[in-house]
Amino acid sequence: MPAKNPVSWASVIAAHAQNRRSTDALGLFSSMLRSGTAPDQFALGSTVRACAELGDIGVGRQVHAQAMKSENGSDLIVQNALVTMYSKSGLVADGFLLFGRMREKDPISWGSIIAGFAQQGCEMEALQIFREMVAEGMHHPNEFHFGSVFSACGVLGSLEYGEQIHSLSVKYRLDHNSYAGCSLSDMYARCKKLESAKRVFYGIDAPDLVSWNSIINACSVEGLLSEAMVLLSEMRGSGLRPDGITVRGLLCACVGCDAIQHGRLMHSYLVKLGLDGDVSVCNSLLSMYARCMDFSSAMDVFHETRDRDVVTWNSILTACVQHQHLEVVFKLFNLLQRSLPSLDRISLNNVLSASAELGYFEMVKQVHTCTFKVGLVNDTMLSNGLIDTYAKCGSLDDAVKLFEMMGTNSDVFSWSSLIVGYAQSGYPRKALDLFARMRNLGVRPNHVTFVGVLTACSRVGLVDEGCYYYSIMEPEHGVLPTREHCSCVIDLLARAGRLTEAAKFVDQMPFEPDIVMWKTLLAGSKTHNDVEMGRRAAEGILNIDPSHSAAYVLLCNIYSASGDWNEFARLKKAMRSSGVKKSPGKSWVKLKGELKVFIVEDRSHPESEEIYTMLELVGMEMIKAGYVPKLSCNHASFDLTGNGLSDEEETLAGYG
């Protein structure tokens, strides 16, 4: 090769940078400097672009300094590349400072800073700069400018401004451009204007794969599975091959048991496409099966996934919690700690959820220790979860200790978690005292806070005070009452025997009563032996769910306790004719370091005979000690199981 000059160096550096061989491009630039050849604007621009591609801001700053020493420091090519590099590296303020000092700007200059602000979460600034460019009138906006501002409008949900910019894009005949049109369609979809999104999409000239994926994902997010499948068929008809993004979008639309067949078809299809080795696709597939209530298939996908990442683990942990396979959560958690170098907040929160369900105190301690190991000890959200779980496991001392250690890091959720913990653990006075302390410090209560306060009032019998707190939630604190708050008020009144007021509250509250509310009223009716109110509450439950066994059981107990055996017999007959069966209870016991699962009447255990024999002996000792079985519960259980289930047999769920 002839003697190298600035042009030849610039050409070879540019070739490597354009082909994403950025490390090689930087090496060539270093060689160029060592050879004593001064870089021109093209070599500097290509090298800066290589730094941006690698995210190596340190080397980028060195190249910037090198450019400033030369006569090319103010060249437009170099300055555009520098603005892009700083913006892509998250230093958009530095990029904007450089942009402001530029004596000359072209469409690339404007596009780089607009895109930088839009991509770094500064959408309003991106829109403001776009307005300035249009007002200046020196340059017409191009498809890249429109693409960035449409994306910004979508993130902000700013439909009005998005429509104005849409009109401007029509003026410049860019609304049918593939790049701008894709962003415009996505903007309408984000603003919940799916018909407008589809109209824009079908107007795009030769939509590419990105455009198809955008509109398919928009339909999927809205749960329009059938429309998404039609779009898939049209995309394939246009000659384009779906990729992992396409498949993930379609899997997102599969929700509930009714969608499982579509999900399985997509599973077969993605295998045919060779995408079953893509971990992000496998993660979406796992989540799809979990959403469609097919936990077994979700576990199969997990076991078959190679190169699992933290999303894979979090997805299966979430599925286990949702499907109440809580013992599996702990087994997976132990594997996870050995499989990944670090855990994240989602992993640990899932384990806390399972621990709270079972009152598994030792596991909560283990999670707390993990927060120190993985650098999340000061994570406020995780600390709040620990406070909540400690309280649910009965360790209020640990909850209080952690709360006090949080200091200024505590937020309203920290206070609320401890208030709820006190209320639900039998310390209602402490809950109310903590609420008073919270208000004195100026911490604004939220909806969770009032759940704790109302629960505390209910437990301690402060009916009037509880009703007062409910009445000031919205006018004084801006907290709209939810179903959970209404359930608390019903419980407050029902526990105090004010069942007529509770029923009146049900009739007047701003929601249709749900099963939880009716069950609360039914439980109060049982406690105070109010047959008529119990009948009304049970009917409310059965109108919502005719197969709800708990309603039958509680109503049976009310009838038997009141001696109304005719109604008791009628209800038993109705249960038989409806095929209602009580769901077997399940409990977990830690035995020799391993979590054991027990199900009522389960005889599959190899030592079941020994277990039942031991239960009978324990039952006899309980009776000798003065325990009196609740006859009404036995009668109700007899009808549901058909074999005279005893209290001792029911304790199989807790056998260790």
The 10s digit of each residue's pLDDT in 498-511 is 999 999 999 999 88
Q: Which residue has the tokens 């009152």?
A: 359
Q: Are residues 216 and 288 in the same domain?
A: yes
Reduce the DSSP state of residue 591 to 3 states and report it: strand
Among 548, 580, 612, the domain-final residue is: 580
Does the residue 412 lie in any domain?
no
Q: Are residues 486 and 572 in the same domain?
A: yes
Residues 415 and 446: their CA atoms lie apart, in Å, by 10
Residues 297 and 316: their CA atoms lie apart, in Å, by 11
Does the residue 37 lie in any domain?
no
Q: Are residues 511 and 530 in the same domain?
A: yes
Does the residue 631 lie in any domain?
yes
Does the residue 547 lie in any domain?
yes
Q: Are residues 647 and 568 in the same domain?
A: no
Reduce the DSSP state of residue 594 to 3 states and report it: strand
Does the residue 454 lie in any domain?
no
Q: Are residues 534 and 623 in the same domain?
A: no
| Count of structural domains, the chain | 3
Note the pLDDT of residue 14: 83
Does the residue 621 lie in any domain?
yes
Residues 6+ apart with CB under 8 A from 485: 447, 450, 451, 454, 470, 473
Q: Are residues 526 and 596 in the same domain?
A: no
Does the residue 439 lie in any domain?
no
Q: Are residues 288 and 303 in the same domain?
A: yes
Residues 380 and 412: their CA atoms lie apart, in Å, by 11
Does the residue 167 lie in any domain?
no
Asked if residues 515 and 507 have their Cβ atoms less than 8 Å apart, the reply is: no
Exposure on the CB side of residue 120, measured as CA atoms within 13 A: 22
Burial code (b: 16+ CB inside 10 Å, e: under 16) for 473-504 equals beeebebebeeebbbbbbbbbbbbebbebbbe
Q: Are residues 621 and 539 in the same domain?
A: no
Within 10 angstroms of residue 221's Cβ, the number of other Cβ atoms is 16
Q: Are residues 216 and 292 in the same domain?
A: yes
Q: Are residues 573 and 488 in the same domain?
A: yes
Question: Which pTM does this prediction carry?
Answer: 0.71
Residues 81 and 368: their CA atoms lie apart, in Å, by 47
Within 10 angstroms of residue 112's Cβ, the number of other Cβ atoms is 26
What is the end-to-end Cα distance of the chain in Å, rounded?
83
Return the bridge partners of 589, or none: 596
What are the structure tokens assigned to 266, written together? 């997509």
CATH number for the domain spanning 527: value is 1.25.40.10
Q: Are residues 588 and 499 in the same domain?
A: no
Note the pLDDT of residue 129: 93
Among 272, 307, 342, the domain-final residue is: 307
Note the pLDDT of residue 652: 38
CATH number for the domain spanning 255: value is 1.25.40
pLDDT along the chain (656 residues), means of 10: 74 86 86 84 86 86 85 86 88 90 90 91 92 90 94 92 93 90 91 91 89 90 87 92 92 84 91 92 95 94 92 94 92 85 86 92 93 90 95 93 92 95 91 94 94 94 94 94 95 95 94 91 88 85 78 74 74 68 62 64 72 79 74 43 37 37
Percentages helix, strand, coil for the chain, rounded to the nearest 5? 75, 0, 25
Among 307, 340, 357, the domain-final residue is: 307
* Enclosing domain of residue 651: 581-656
List the one residue out of 530, 593, 579 whose CA is nearest residue 557. 530
Q: What is the DSSP annotation of 296-308?
A: HHHHHHHHH-SS-
What are the structure tokens assigned to 79, written together? 């300055």
Burial bucket for residue 526 (CB in 10 Å: 0-12, 13-18, 19+): buried
Q: Are residues 486 and 570 in the same domain?
A: yes
